[in-house]
């Protein structure tokens, strides 16, 4: 059983206080304390909302709103009891707080008090509460509609290596908490609205009941009874209505807040008083109005001078920043234009070829410039880290540079100095990708996702929530480039693995299995053969993380053959569980496509006749085979299942090469690569 801490006892004690106030008579001094506590609590809640950066930082706000509303209504019940029982004794019957609000705030005039109270109720009920309630409803609906798109965006960032599993989990929890918060605020706003109505009804009930009790039970004249009970009731209503207005304002501030790194005061000042033009125009208008005869010159001219002073200081500060920036650019230009000292050419003047390169047009430079809050460098680092962990070797660094030969919004990805992909993006927009099922169309610039060729639209940032609620996956320009880079590195991973990388892998393995590495290279196999086997695995999307199993298999089969293709087939059989898990997860049933026995026999005979040259398939048969495999693959993709072709070991390598470029996404496995704990289900048979 969990012990009750002092912090955890606060709310239960407050609930007990509310019940006590509703059922037990309270002395005036206790009412004074409780009314003062109610006003203090409302001020604390208001200031907490002002200094909250994100609504989720005050996730308990809907509950606080409910508890404070109940506290205020319980105080109304307690004060009503005292007013009706002892109101005939005078204005001080219900305590000093109510008397002060009834006498000082409205000057002891109950007619004025009624007008002030009515104005407060109108402000609270018609303006603040109604607006906050409407915003809560819209925010709750939009937040719930946008949840699927936000979840898909998190999954896209996770798959692109921009997020770790822990970061993705935290972001998913934030999305769920945000939906819960706005849903709760939608309901809590009804409490505030009902409280405003209840305050108005309680006022009239107290006045009518007090006058009737004073005249019938205590023999007071109508004027005296009206003066006593009206002032007490109005004071009671004002004491309750002011905290109600504060809490309504807090609710309105909370639902209109944006997720920023500044509190409300800093954000408002920073955004409102940064444009001197608005202040200069305001100062001019106030100055003209202050010079009109009959106008209050002191008030208008003082504010005009203040606005002009603020505008002048803003312009002065901006001019100073511009001059400093201009001076810095001048110094940089002088350094760049200095004549380099002449020196003899050497091999250092021959630039090496970058394994991975990213060239950007000049409009995309801010994406890679960290001084301009560019996010692409961090995204690229995340891609390298994720792929290095998945593939099993360190992916080389990505060399990023600008290229004026490209169009301003274009980028190009190169491997070993050769372009393998390029596209154009809009850095000031976001890409809404159609994952296959969306609920409507969104306006923007039609395009294609460069990584996977999906239909997409470049939209304004303001349309992001709308696009996510319609089912689109929305990503920014940096994520588009990072995802494209990740896809190309995965496709060409075998080209990035060389002798140097394999040496590092073997050195790392030698720390845990020194004898295995010592006997493998060069005693059993040359390093070049090991490199070729690992490249073959990567070419067929098989990770090389399990270097121990790979090395043990190579050491075992090296006495039989040193052919890289034969050794690759042996390693694949040893890694069969990893291969199947990457394709089909932890499912026990494996859906496969098979070849008709007659067709398989023809292909085996062709392989035997061609020898080391691979399967030579007659063009008509090859076209028909490719068409049939493509149709079966499309059916599997439509059903959300992996596409697997199961064939004999002798044909596996040749058919994998045949299908690699014509049917992307098709996995070719041999019978020997199926683990014993998997059940094979034939979903299609491809014939002649």
Q: Which residue has the tokens 């205590």?
A: 218
Please report the pLDDT score of residue 19 as a whole number. Answer: 75
Q: Is residue 5 part of a domain?
A: no
Note the pLDDT of residue 178: 74
Which CATH number goes with the domain that contains 372? 3.40.30.60
Distance CA(634)–CA(663), nearest Å, equals 10
- Residue 166 has a pLDDT of 79
Instruction: Answer with the one of 574, 604, 626 that is the final residue of a domain.
Output: 574
Give 636-673 pLDDT, tens digit per residue.
887 888 899 999 888 888 888 888 777 878 899 999 99
Q: Give me the pLDDT at residue 311, please.
A: 80
| DSSP one-letter string for 584-622 | HTT-SEEEEEEE-HHHHHHHHHHHHHHGGG-----HHHH
- In a shared domain, residues 630 and 685: yes
Q: Is 380 exposed, middle or buried (0-12, 13-18, 19+ CB in 10 A)?
A: buried
Given strand 418-424, what is the order of strands in its sheet?
A: 398-402, 356-360, 410-415, 418-424
Give CA–CA dist 113/111, Å, rounded. 5
| 53 and 175 assigned to the same domain | yes
User: What CATH number does residue 681 fall under?
Assistant: 3.40.50.12790
**Is 333 part of a structural domain of the chain?**
no
Burial class (CB in 10 A: 0-12, 13-18, 19+), 217: exposed
Query: Is residue 328 in some structural domain?
Result: no
Residue 571 has a pLDDT of 94
* Peptide bond just before 139 cis, omega within 30 deg: no
Judge if 381 and 475 occupy the same domain.
yes
Alpha carbons 598 and 602: distance in angstroms, whole number: 6
Work out the end-to-end distance of the chain between its first and last CA atoms, rounded to an integer number of angstroms: 71
Same domain, yes or no, for 598 and 615?
yes
* Domain that includes residue 461, residue range: 356-492
Which residues in the chain come in under a pLDDT of 70? 1-11, 86-96, 99, 101-110, 138-140, 142-143, 146, 160-162, 227, 257-274, 332-343, 610-616, 688
Q: CA 64 → CA 14, 61, 115, 469, distances in Å?
A: 11, 5, 30, 30
* CATH number of 523's domain: 1.10.8.540
Both 235 and 316 in one domain: the answer is no
Q: Is 639 helix (H, G, I), strand (E, B) or coil?
A: coil
* 346 in a structural domain: no
Q: Are residues 215 and 248 in the same domain?
A: yes
Last residue of a domain, one of 492, 511, 530: 492
Rounded to the nearest 5°, which phi and psi values hold at 16? -65, -40
**pTM attached to this predicted model:** 0.56
| Cα radius of gyration (the chain) | 38
Q: Dig out the tokens for 679 from the structure.
A: 């059940």
pLDDT tens readout for residues 3-39: 455 555 666 777 777 777 777 777 778 877 888 888 8
Does 646 fall in a domain?
Answer: yes
How many structural domains compose the chain?
5
Is residue 256 classed as helix, strand or coil in its secondary structure? helix
> Among 524, 555, 574, which residue terminates a domain?
574
Question: Is there a single domain that holds both residue 188 and residue 68?
Answer: yes
Residue 472 in domain: yes
Examine residue 84 and state whether it is found in any structural domain, yes or no. yes
Please state, as a whole number, how many other Cβ atoms lie within 10 Å of the Cβ of residue 47. 12
Q: Are residues 488 and 506 in the same domain?
A: no
């Amino acid at each position: 059983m969990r012990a009750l801490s002092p912090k955890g006892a606060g709310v239960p004690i407050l609930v007990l206080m509310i019940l006590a106030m509703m059922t037990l008579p309270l002395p005036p001094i206790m009412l004074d304390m409780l009314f003062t506590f109610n006003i203090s609590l409302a001020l604390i809640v208001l200031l907490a909302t002002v200094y909250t950066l994100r609504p989720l930082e005050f996730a308990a706000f809907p509950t606080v709103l409910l508890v404070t509303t109940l506290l205020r209504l319980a105080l109304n019940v307690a004060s009503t009891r005292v007013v009706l029982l002892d109101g005939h004794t005078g204005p001080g019957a219900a305590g000093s707080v109510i008397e002060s609000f009834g006498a000082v705030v409205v000057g002891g005039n109950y007619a004025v008090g009624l007008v002030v109270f009515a104005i407060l109720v109108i402000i609270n009920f018609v303006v603040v509460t109604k607006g906050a309630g409407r915003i809560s409803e819209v925010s709750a609906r939009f937040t719930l509609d946008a949840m699927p798109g936000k979840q898909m965006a998190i999954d896209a960032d996770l798959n692109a290596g921009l997020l770790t599993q822990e970061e993705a989990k935290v972001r998913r929890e934030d999305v769920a908490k945000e939906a819960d918060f706005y849903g709760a605020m939608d309901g809590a706003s009804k409490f505030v609205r009902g409280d405003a109505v209840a305050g108005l009804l309680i006022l009239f009930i107290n006045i009518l009941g007090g006058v009737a009790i004073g005249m019938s039970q205590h023999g007071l004249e109508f004027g005296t009874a009206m003066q006593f009970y009206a002032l007490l009731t109005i004071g009671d209503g004002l004491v309750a209505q002011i905290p109600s207005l504060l809490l309504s304002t807090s609710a309105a501030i909370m639902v209109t807040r944006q997720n920023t790194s500044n509190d409300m005061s800093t954000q408002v000042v920073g955004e409102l008083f940064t444009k001197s033009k608005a202040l200069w125009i305001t100062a001019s208008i106030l100055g003209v109005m202050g010079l009109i005869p009959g106008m209050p010159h002191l008030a208008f001219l003082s504010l005009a001078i203040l606005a002009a002073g603020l505008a002048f200081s803003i312009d002065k500060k901006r001019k100073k920043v511009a001059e400093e920036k201009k001076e810095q650019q001048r110094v940089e230009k002088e350094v760049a234009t200095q004549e380099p000292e002449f020196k003899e050419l050497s091999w250092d003047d021959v630039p090496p070829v970058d394994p991975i390169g990213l060239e950007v047009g000049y409009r995309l430079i801010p994406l890679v410039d960290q001084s301009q809050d560019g996010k692409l460098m961090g995204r690229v680092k995340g891609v390298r880290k994720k792929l290095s962990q998945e593939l099993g070797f360190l992916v080389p660094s990505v060399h990023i540079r600008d290229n004026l030969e490209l169009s301003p919004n274009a980028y190009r990805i190169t491997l070993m100095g050769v372009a393998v992909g390029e596209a154009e993006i809009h850095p000031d927009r976001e890409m809404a990708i159609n994952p296959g099922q969306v609920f409507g169309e969104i306006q923007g610039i039609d395009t294609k996702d460069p990584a996977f060729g999906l239909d997409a639209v470049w939209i304004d940032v303001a349309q992001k929530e709308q696009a996510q609620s319609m089912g689109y996956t929305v990503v920014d320009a940096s994520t588009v480039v990072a995802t494209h880079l990740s896809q190309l590195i995965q496709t060409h991973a075998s080209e990035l693995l060389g002798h140097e990388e394999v040496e590092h892998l073997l050195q790392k393995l030698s720390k845990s299995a020194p004898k295995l590495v010592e006997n493998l290279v060069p005693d059993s196999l040359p390093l070049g053969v090991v490199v070729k086997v690992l490249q073959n695995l990567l070419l067929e999307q098989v990770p090389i993380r399990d270097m121990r199993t790979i090395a043990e298999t190579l050491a075992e089969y090296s006495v039989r053959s040193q052919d890289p293709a034969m050794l690759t087939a042996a390693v694949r059989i040893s890694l069969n569980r990893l291969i199947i898990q990457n394709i089909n997860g932890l499912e026990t049933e494996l859906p496969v496509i098979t070849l008709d026995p007659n067709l398989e026999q023809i292909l085996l005979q062709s392989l035997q006749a061609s020898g080391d040259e691979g399967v030579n398939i007659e063009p008509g048969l090859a076209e028909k085979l490719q068409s049939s495999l493509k149709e079966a693959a499309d059916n599997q993709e439509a059903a959300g299942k992996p596409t697997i072709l199961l064939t004999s070991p002798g044909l596996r390598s040749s058919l994998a090469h045949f299908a690699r470029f014509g049917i992307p996404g098709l996995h070719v496995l041999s019978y020997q690569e199926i683990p014993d704990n998997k059940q094979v289900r034939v979903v299609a048979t491809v014939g002649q």
